[in-house]
Amino acid sequence: MASLYNVKIEQLKGVGKKRGELFNKLGIYSVGELLEFYPRSYEDWTTSENLLTANHGDAVCVKGQVVTPIKNGFTKTGKYISKLEVFDGENTMEVVFFNNRYISSMLKYGETYSFYGKISRTLNGVQMIAPEFSQKDSDNIHPIYNLTAGLTNRMVSNAVKQAITMLPEKLNDPLPENLREKFSLCNLRFAIENIHFPKDNNSLETARKRLITEELLVLNLGLRQLKNHQRENNTNIVKKDFSQEFENLLPFPLTNAQKRAISDCVKDVMNREVTLNRLVQGDVGSGKTAVAASLAYTVIKNGMQVAFMAPTELLAEQHYKTFVNFFKNTDINVSMLTGSLKQSEKDKVRDAVQKGEIQIVVGTHALITDKTQFYNLGLVVTDEQHRFGVSQRAKLLSKGNNPHLLVMSATPIPRTLGLIIYGDLDISIIDELPPGRQKIDTLLIGEDKRQRALGFIKQEVLKGRQAYIVCPLVEEGEMELASAEEYAAELMLNYFQDIPVGILHGKMKAQDKERVMKQFSDNELKILVATVVIEVGIDVPNATIMMIENAERFGLSQLHQLRGRVGRGKEKSYCILVSNYNYGTSFERLKTMCTTSDGFKIADADLKLRGPGDFFGSRQHGLPQLNISSFADTKSLELSQKIADYVMADSHNLLDDNYRGLKSKILRLFVNTGNSTLN
Ligand code: ADP
Ligand code: MG
């Protein structure tokens, strides 16, 4: 199999240079890659559908006899048309073809065929337009491939057939026999043959299960190796724990969950063997910053520097202020490095960082990773980690002398998924909010109550509070701008005449967005109308209302993040979900929001309902693209986890020759993520 990656697709019979380029367009360059180009779906020709019960719009197979001679003619618009009737033993359907002059020679009156196509139910009875057909009795399940212009399904499937015959007699299976036996997985040849040309539905399932498991296993093991690699060589050993001293600086006592997370981190940095490589995950408002600050304090007190990275300038600024406040009674120098600083100021900060005069620098990722040199960098902290992925993390660590890495994320994700996404990190979870937080009242209202809700917002604003309004979602592009502005204009005209309202939408330049956010956080704007997700992590304690239009269009986790923007201060906060769905699953989902504030429960519900895309947007997790499996498939994730545990116990670091094939699969998977640290 491995050698088939070296056989160019052009070398197949009937492919050649031109057609080869079409395969290239689909990402297929070699015969090996063609074999991994699994069908998008299948046509099941094994069971004939009953015409009486077949649903309008379904693609089905109908086996029947041609009971009329084929009638050819022209439509009103001049198209060549052929019609015939097919009898399935009980009912008839009309079969119609357009612009095919060979139909009369291909289909014979009185003969029986299988027809595969979409059923349409019309006033005149059941119809199938331009179906595929075949007279062979032993017909089976046909693969349907993703195509590109110029390439037909038949061309792809013929090429795959040929490729299968090229598989070597003795096929090296990346899953060795002991694993296949123990976890009831079929061998590679069976899997390849049956994923493309299934003997029957059972064989297809067996093949799928094996390939999915293999893919997730490879991913899982790859991430574990990444972790092992990164954790080697702790060159920044911390000798003394200063977390108690830090706690005495704080105006509040830490929660037990915060203390646990801090102690996890401190243990790691004091460990002589390995580098800290940890994710601190905690719901919005759980106090992750204080955890990071505590670790930073200990690291600095042991003579090293700390870099704190935020995804946006505004967040960087906010964290900067927080750190200045935490460290105000110490000799620690905090500096900020963001794009809006003058060049001379940036140079000054960088110079001081390089000389070691500044112990902690807070800034955006780009600024710190690209040019800044450190005197003695011991710890990197990054906030809101889901914005960048595995490979960026690896790049970060190339800074300085293998610094410790602490990642913070508010995106609650179910455990099984976490093991994959954060497979290269240890995890501490802050599962407790600081005391005295008020529950955010979440209300679900129909559009008929919008006016009252806006009246309520006005009242609160006049009392001194601020509010976010997430306006209706629209398609991306120009429309977005127009409709956000229109929406905001209408609100200003009809409800908020004397109130400063700001607008935030996806088409704005980053610096304009930041300006508006800053005006809002400085309380110059009282109401913020936004189309896009309002900056994660932003902390405006005076904002107490979050109103979300078309709430049913958002993922629950997204709603939870949005809701987390309020309820951050002393005042009572509200989240108003506007939706006209008062029935069905949309309604149930929104109801969940009203009854629970537990981010993990919400994430679990969301994953079940919508799949993992909504956690991260498209591919934001930075993992290699999956070919056949899905992160939403919890069962397979769990199985692959189990097998990975078994493999690691059986052969540490896959050194055993038995796992050679698996190891080369891991390398192949990670090649495209730019992860040179993997070996
Ligand atoms: P997040 O986990 O969402 O990043 P933050 O670190 O921004 O949360 O903390 C939210 C707010 O809670 C901040 O104003 C912070 O000062 C405060 N806070 C953090 N820890 C505690 C605590 N143990 N007791 C009281 N308030 C706390
Ligand atoms: Mg935060």
Taking 80 as the threshold, does the pLDDT of residue 148 lie above it? yes
pLDDT band (50, 70, 90) for residue 558: confident
Query: What is the side-by-side order of every strand in the sheet holding 441-445?
Result: 441-445, 574-578, 543-548, 466-470, 527-530, 501-504
Q: Is the CB of 282 under 6 A from ligand 1?
A: yes
Tell me the residue length of the chain: 679
Specify the residue with its C-alpha closest to ligand 1, atom 4.
288
pLDDT at residue 251, as a whole number: 92
pLDDT at residue 560, as a whole number: 86
Amino acid, single-letter form, for residue 67: V
* Strand, helix or coil for residue 177: helix
Q: Is the CB of 539 under 6 A from ligand 1?
A: yes
CA 603 to centroid of ligand 1, rounded, Å: 22
Taking 80 as the threshold, does the pLDDT of residue 615 lie above it? no
Residues 6+ apart with CB under 8 A from 43: 59, 61, 116, 132, 141, 142, 144
Taking 70 as the threshold, does the pLDDT of residue 192 lie above it? yes
Considering every ligand atom shown, identify the ligand nearest to the alpha carbon of residue 412 and give its number: 1
Q: How many CB atoms lie within 10 A of CB 497?
A: 9
CA 609 to centroid of ligand 2, rounded, Å: 27
Q: CB–CB of 517/314 below 8 Å?
A: yes
CA 539 to centroid of ligand 1, rounded, Å: 10
Q: How many CB atoms lie within 10 A of CB 413?
A: 26
pLDDT per position as a tens digit, 588-606: 888 889 988 887 778 777 7
Specify the residue with its C-alpha closest to ligand 1, atom 17.
287
Instruction: Report the C-alpha gap between 257 and 254 in whole angstroms.
Output: 8
Q: Is the CB of 410 under 6 A from ligand 1?
A: yes
Instruction: Report the C-alpha gap between 303 and 376 in whole angstroms.
Output: 8
Taking 50 as the threshold, does the pLDDT of residue 619 lie above it? no
pLDDT band (50, 70, 90) for residue 611: low
Instruction: Report the C-alpha gap between 459 and 453 in whole angstroms.
Output: 10
Q: CB–CB of 297/243 below 8 Å?
A: yes
Token pair for 409 = 């994320």
More confident residue, 102 or 438: 102
CA 543 to centroid of ligand 1, rounded, Å: 16
Instruction: Report the C-alpha gap between 19 and 16 in whole angstroms.
Output: 6
Q: How many CB atoms lie within 10 A of CB 477?
A: 10
Q: What does pLDDT average to over the chain?
A: 85
Instruction: Report the C-alpha gap between 31 and 13 in whole angstroms.
Output: 12
Amino acid, single-letter form, for residue 132: E
CA 279 to centroid of ligand 2, rounded, Å: 13
pLDDT at residue 139, as a whole number: 66
pLDDT band (50, 70, 90) for residue 674: very low
Helices and strands (H and E) in the chain: how many: 24, 22
Q: In this structure, is the dihedral angle defined by the CA atoms of residues 568, 574, 580 and 582, taken in order, positive or negative?
A: positive
pLDDT at residue 369, as a whole number: 67
**Direct distance between the N- and C-terminal alpha carbons of the chain, in angstroms, rounded to an integer:** 21
Q: What's the rounded mean pLDDT across residues 497-514?
A: 85
Q: Is the CB of 567 under 6 A from ligand 1?
A: no
DSSP state of 433: P
- Closest of 576, 579, 628, 581 to residue 217, by C-alpha: 628
Specify the residue with its C-alpha closest to ligand 1, atom 20.
287
Specify the residue with its C-alpha closest to ligand 1, atom 23.
254
- Lowest-pLDDT range, 163-167, 322-326, 537-541? 537-541
Contacts 24+ apart (CB under 8 A), 27-31: 30/4, 30/5, 30/6, 31/4, 31/5, 31/7, 31/163, 31/166
348: left (phi over 0), alpha (psi -120 to 50) or beta: alpha
Q: CB–CB of 237/270 below 8 Å?
A: yes
Q: How many CB atoms lie within 10 A of CB 87?
A: 15
517 class by beta-carbon count within 10 Å (0-12 exposed, 13-18 middle, 19+ buried): buried
pLDDT band (50, 70, 90) for residue 678: very low
Highest mean pLDDT among 402-416, 454-468, 607-621: 454-468
- Closest of 140, 167, 154 to residue 36, by C-alpha: 167
255 class by beta-carbon count within 10 Å (0-12 exposed, 13-18 middle, 19+ buried): buried
Q: Is the CB of 252 under 6 A from ligand 1?
A: yes
Token pair for 49 = 């559908």
Q: How many CA atoms lie within 13 A of 612 on its CB side?
A: 22
Instruction: Report the C-alpha gap between 562 and 597 in whole angstroms.
Output: 12
CA 228 to centroid of ligand 1, rounded, Å: 32
pLDDT per position as a tens digit, 211-255: 999 999 998 888 777 666 555 666 788 899 999 999 999 999 999
More confident residue, 475 or 208: 208
- Lowest-pLDDT range, 141-150, 396-405, 550-559? 396-405
Amino acid, single-letter form, for residue 279: L
pLDDT per position as a tens digit, 55-91: 888 889 999 999 999 999 999 999 999 999 999 999 9
Token pair for 330 = 């110490």
pLDDT at residue 622, as a whole number: 53
Q: CB–CB of 350/372 below 8 Å?
A: yes
pTM over 0.95: no
Token pair for 636 = 């397979």
Q: CB–CB of 378/275 below 8 Å?
A: no
SS (HEC) of 623-637: CCCCCCCCCCCHHHH
Specify the residue with its C-alpha closest to ligand 1, atom 24.
434
Specify the residue with its C-alpha closest to ligand 1, atom 16.
287
Instruction: Report the C-alpha gap between 54 and 51 in whole angstroms.
Output: 5
Considering every ligand atom shown, identify the ligand nearest to the alpha carbon of residue 286 and give its number: 1
Per DSSP, the residues of 255-272 read PHHHHHHHHHHHHHHH-S
Specify the residue with its C-alpha closest to ligand 1, atom 12.
287
Taking 50 as the threshold, does the pLDDT of residue 613 lie above it? no
CA distances from 124 to 52, 91, 116 (A): 14, 13, 20
DSSP state of 47: S
Query: What is the side-by-side order of every strand in the sheet holding 377-383?
Result: 334-337, 360-364, 305-310, 377-383, 404-409, 277-282, 426-430
DSSP H or E stretch at residue 20: helix 16-25
Residues 6+ apart with CB under 8 A from 481: 505, 507
Instruction: Report the C-alpha gap between 96 and 94 in whole angstroms.
Output: 7
Q: Is the CB of 502 under 6 A from ligand 1?
A: no
CA 224 to centroid of ligand 1, rounded, Å: 32
DSSP state of 651: S
Instruction: Report the C-alpha gap between 537 and 164 in whole angstroms.
Output: 52
Taking 60 as the threshold, does the pLDDT of residue 612 lie above it? no
CA 463 to centroid of ligand 2, rounded, Å: 27
Q: What's the rounded mean pLDDT across residues 524-544?
A: 81
Q: How many CA atoms lie within 13 A of 188 on its CB side?
A: 22
Atom of ligand 1 nearest to the CA of 286: 2
pLDDT per position as a tens digit, 561-577: 889 889 888 889 999 99
* Strand, helix or coil for residue 467: strand
Q: Is the CB of 536 under 6 A from ligand 1?
A: no
Residue entry with tokens 């997430």: 470
Report residue 63: phi and psi, to 5°.
-100, 130
CA distances from 303 to 75, 236, 299, 462 (A): 86, 10, 7, 50
Q: CB–CB of 119/58 below 8 Å?
A: yes
Q: Is the CB of 289 under 6 A from ligand 1?
A: yes
Considering every ligand atom shown, identify the ligand nearest to the alpha carbon of residue 311 and give its number: 2
pLDDT per position as a tens digit, 352-394: 999 999 999 999 876 666 678 899 999 999 886 555 555 556 5
Q: Is the CB of 258 under 6 A from ligand 1?
A: yes
Q: Which of 248, 279, 294, 539 to mutate to test the pocket of ligand 1 (most atoms within 8 A of CB)?
A: 539
Q: Is the CB of 431 under 6 A from ligand 1?
A: no
